[in-house]
Amino acid sequence: MADKAVQQQLDEINAKLDLITSELAHAKRQREELEGLKADLTIVAKDVFSSAIVELEDVAPFVRTGDFLHLFKKILRNTNTITGIIEQLESALDFYQDAKPISKSLFNDALEGLDDLDRQGYFVFFKEVTTVVKNIITNFSPEDVRLLADNIVTILETMKSLTQPEMMKTINNAATIFKNLNTDDIEEYSIWKLMREINSPEIKRGFGFLISFLKNVSDSTAVQNNLISE
């Protein structure tokens, strides 16, 4: 019974010794790894330090030792300002992250709108309008443009009158008649035949229209001249 107890104690001691040995081996490996890391870091630090010295040699003539101290003091004095700038930058970044989906959606909508305008021909139209403006600038002087601006109301009123249904109908009828008229095969009229045609109702109405038109133009011109003289 006593031998069994002693053997049990020896087993426990051996187990503890194995545990201690394992821990010592683990600690040794860690120490070796740390020493290796230290050696590697030392080499890297030496390389970095050497590179820094080489690079700083280029700016050494322009920097004094006191400049670094002055810069450090200035940073300390403006710590609150620097902190505020960083906070504003953080806020701007947060806003950017929040607005990013909205901006993307707006950008896509804008692209779709521009594509729709392109399909409808707006860009081609504006391109041709640009050509028209270019031709106007090339062929008209500033004085011509000024006169156009002075008379734009009269021009628009004239265009308004020309676009009235009755006027458009008359112009269309005249254009249709001229289009259908064979100018290469027009009958020649002698003096006697012309005298006979003058007595026709159509010619009389034509002369009546022409005389009335000229009379109204003359009256309108006289009224405008009186307004200008006044």
What's the pLDDT tens digit per position in 195-205? 777 777 777 77
Give pLDDT, residue 226. Answer: 67
Q: Are 188 and 194 in contact, with CB atoms under 8 Å apart? A: no
Confidence of residue 59 (pLDDT cuts 50, 70, 90): low
Give pLDDT, residue 114. Answer: 83
Distance of CA 152 to the CA centre of its chain: 34
Question: CA nearest 170: which of 158, 182, 162?
Answer: 162
Give pLDDT, residue 1. Answer: 57
Q: Are 78 and 84 in contact, with CB atoms under 8 Å apart? A: no
Encode pLDDT of 184-226 as tens digits. Answer: 776 776 777 767 777 777 777 777 877 887 787 777 766 666 6
Q: Provide, rounded to the nearest whole percent, the portion of the chain with pLDDT above 70.
A: 88
The number of residues in the chain equals 230
CA 5, CA 14: separation in Å to the nearest integer? Answer: 14
Residue 74 has pLDDT above 60, yes or no: yes
Q: Are 204 and 196 in contact, with CB atoms under 8 Å apart? A: no
CA 229, CA 122: separation in Å to the nearest integer? Answer: 47
Give pLDDT, residue 7. Answer: 73
Question: CA nearest 56: which of 42, 64, 46?
Answer: 64
Amino acid letter, residue 88? Q
Give pLDDT, residue 26. Answer: 83
Give pLDDT, residue 2. Answer: 64
Give pLDDT, residue 105. Answer: 81
Q: pTM of the prediction?
A: 0.31
What are 85's two structure tokens? 């700038």
Give pLDDT, residue 163. Answer: 79
Amino acid letter, residue 13? I
Residue 53 has pLDDT above 80, yes or no: no
Residue 40 has pLDDT above 60, yes or no: yes
Q: Which residue has the tokens 């860690």?
A: 30
Encode pLDDT of 99-108 as tens digits. Answer: 778 878 888 8
Give pLDDT, residue 175. Answer: 81
Q: Are 171 and 162 in contact, with CB atoms under 8 Å apart? A: yes
